[in-house]
Structure 1
Amino acid sequence: MNKHWTPLALVYLGLSLVGLAGTWTYNVVAIVQMRDFIVDWVGSGPAVSSLTVDLLIAAVAGSILIIVEARRLGMKRGWLYVVFSGITAFAFTFPLFLAMRERALETARAKALD
């Protein structure tokens, strides 16, 4: 295997494959049953299951990224973003982490220029 495939890259790749298989399993069911995705999203059905798997896999991959990147950048208590995503929403904590990450990167850039 190519040396550029790190263990973390393989984890992300595995999650992407699980996400693809999980979501498309329900998408195929929805297509075979001739379901209306929009109606299913606001009601129930295979489209909702597909969306659930899609968001779950993205949240797991994002949580791994948060923990690994926070450690790499020396951000304290990065794991709290993951914990708070269960209390609030990942749609909130992930962009918040990305904003704080950019601040940390900018601080590091500024220090490097000094």
Structure 2
Amino acid sequence: MTRHKIYAMSFASVYPHYVAKAERKGRAKAEVDEIICWLTGYDQQGLDAEIEKETDFETFLADAPKMNPSRALTKGVICGVRVEDIEEPVMQDIRYLDKMIDELANGKAMEKILRTG
């Protein structure tokens, strides 16, 4: 999938995959939402509205109320690439989210995922 196609995908089309991945590992949709809200600054109502509007990924991130500066503390490999080495900001933010959802599914504590503990 090309970078352009990823950006054009609706966030709503990817969101159920995040939830399913977490739930398969015994985690909750509320935890997925907490991660997304922490990362983007959306509150639950705002997140739900963006999902309802089927906003594309690029717009979802660009219009986020406040991207969390601590997201840069997210390190590691996702899809064979180190997230901290991704140069394109939108793609890096997408991969930060992917990495955090992976950490959730792998049983990491929320305070560690959110870089608060």
Calculate the TM-score normalised by the size of structure 1. 0.34
Structure number with the bigger relative contact order (C-alpha 8 A, sep ≥ 6) is 2
Calculate the TM-score normalised by the size of structure 2. 0.33
Higher helix share: 1
